[in-house]
Structure 1
């Protein structure tokens, strides 16, 4: 939940200016309301984001989100946000939520007193500051990849060392030779499974 610190929303224009102000807080500093009648399905625009705003609207369905997706155009790096008044437990239909999750559209619900409620994961990311969230996720993926590479290297080195030792073991110590060989082959198999993938 985000407190907007805004006056009451009593008109479509209020709702649009409310959405633009919230987007500026989320990291889109140039967010502004579009000119009436010239938005082509977009009510708020920024260099890196577009949004549509519904006021006193029945449940938002998949077609509403499809119009926003189409209005964005082919520049897929531009974020999409949708704001709908909270006039029921959820202002979005299940199909709309599914479509939004598939196309990374942030769904928000707002009340007339200016309180904002993220309705899906993408909206929560925007509310937290999308750039910071994405940077944190990228750092986490980098740490996991480094750990993965370390495990793979350790398995490979240990397996090669095991094979070298088994080659030097006196064949009379057959049990020791079998143990080293089996463990080494197992290590090689695991190293193959855990080998780092090339991006």
Structure 2
């Protein structure tokens, strides 16, 4: 049976910085907060719990900022982060829409926490372009864990061979294939049709 659903990653695929820079590249100049300090005080000790839905973003971010950047609120930093990390690849989205028009379902499969997931889905309008978003904090597990792929199958009703993952992480691509999915490694160098054809799909 042919592929019936494209499962598309967000960061590095749907969201791609046109100049290749990180979202926090100008953060120190813009907000007076060093990316290294944020990594040390927040991302390294807390983000795993947040992205797996075991803790809320603001509950962990606010005390970290009180230590390293007391002039910033967690709301202010999150708004900056989500805006800077929200550059949509409209060429890819238009290519995906063409497949949707032919009858394929489009879903997102991504490692996100709840607040950014809502921002992507509602504020950036991805809910108009995709049928559903499957994300780590909602599932309590993340790619490349096999449990994530199995939960996607259960929630969608698609069999593994009906699903195709488009992801920029080789680990995730290999994990999807190990679960019986089709998968391609996305580099952004080819148009979607060419990338699928190159993969024999």
**TM-score, normalised via structure 1 length:** 0.30
**TM-score, normalised via structure 2 length:** 0.30
Query: Whose RCO is larger (CA < 8 A, sep 6+)?
Result: 2
